[in-house]
Structure formats: C-alpha cells, structure tokens
Amino acid sequence: MPSRTNGPITQDWTPVVIHKRLQKASEARDPKAVNAAIRAGAQVQSIKKFEGGSNKKAQPPLNTRKLDEETEPAALQKVPAEIRHAIQKARLDQKLSQAELGKRINERAQVIQEYESGKAIPNQAILSKLEKVLGVKLRGKLNSH
C-alpha cells in the first residue's frame, strides 16, 4: 500500500480556466455553422456588401457595344490593303517569317497572318508593336482610310 507523506494535506483552490478556440472567419461563414447557430438561438448577422458579387463595372468592348446599339447589321472595320502591304513589305525587307515577327511582338503567328491577309480587326496596341519592330508607320494610314 502506498504510504502517506507526513504533513498537512492542502487543496489548491486557484481557478482553472479552459479557453475555447476562437472560430475563424471562414468557419463562421460556413452554411452548416450558420444553421447550427440559428438552431441554437444565437443572433446571426448578415451584411450585404456594396456591389459585392457583381461585375457591373465591367463593360463590353467598344465594338460589341456599337454592334448592340446598331439597328441594322454592319461589318466591322478590317485592315486596309495599304497597311497589309506595308506590314508584309517591311517584314520581307527584314527577312522575317510571320512566326519570327509574332515572337518579336509577343503575339501568335496567326495574328500576323490575319493582319497580312486583311481578316483582322485593327488593334491599336498590335499596330503599335508592329511599328516599333518593323520601323514603318501604320496607324496614321489607318485613320485616313
């Protein structure tokens, strides 16, 4: 049998506090946690954020909006023949293939092919890149056509 120690037996009466882990924000938004809180009778607060979850600020591209506003069908502006020929002539003068030119302006070779064949819708950013790489003026001619 265990033996008792000599001396007075005392009790420790200091309170022991057990802390519950705080709930994370993502756990508080969980549908199961919300339903459990409602069943338990706790107050649940829902806040609608201003423009939250909507994408109303984004607007369609300009060409799309113009097409939507038009009453009769209209064709989009294509690359004029003089710009197509200027791109092709400058590319051939520098002995570049369409793929090499595409790599230099960070576009696919198909984009260059569409510009040279006249199927592309003119994009000012791409025309600017082509002007820098080829060293020819393209955008001034586009406005005169």
Task: Kindly state whether residue 19 falls inside one of the protein's structural domains.
Answer: no
Please, which residues have CB within 8 angstroms of residue 22's CB and are 6 or more apart in sequence?
Answer: none
Amino acid found at 30:
D
Task: Kindly state whether residue 74 falls inside one of the protein's structural domains.
Answer: no
Confidence band for 103, pLDDT divided at 50, 70 and 90: very high
Task: Kindly state whether residue 118 falls inside one of the protein's structural domains.
Answer: yes
Q: Is 53:89 a contact under the CB 8 Å cutoff? A: no
Domain count, the chain: 1
Task: Kindly state whether residue 93 falls inside one of the protein's structural domains.
Answer: yes
Distance CA 36, CA 30 (A): 10
Q: Is 27:33 a contact under the CB 8 Å cutoff? A: yes
Cα 37 off chain centre by:
36
Task: Kindly state whether residue 139 falls inside one of the protein's structural domains.
Answer: no
* CATH number where 85 lies: 1.10.260.40
Task: Of 9-13, 25-29, 31-35, 104-108, give the range with the top mean pLDDT.
Answer: 104-108
The pTM is what?
0.47
Range of the domain at 130: 81-134
Please, which residues have CB within 8 angstroms of residue 137's CB and are 6 or more apart in sequence?
Answer: 131
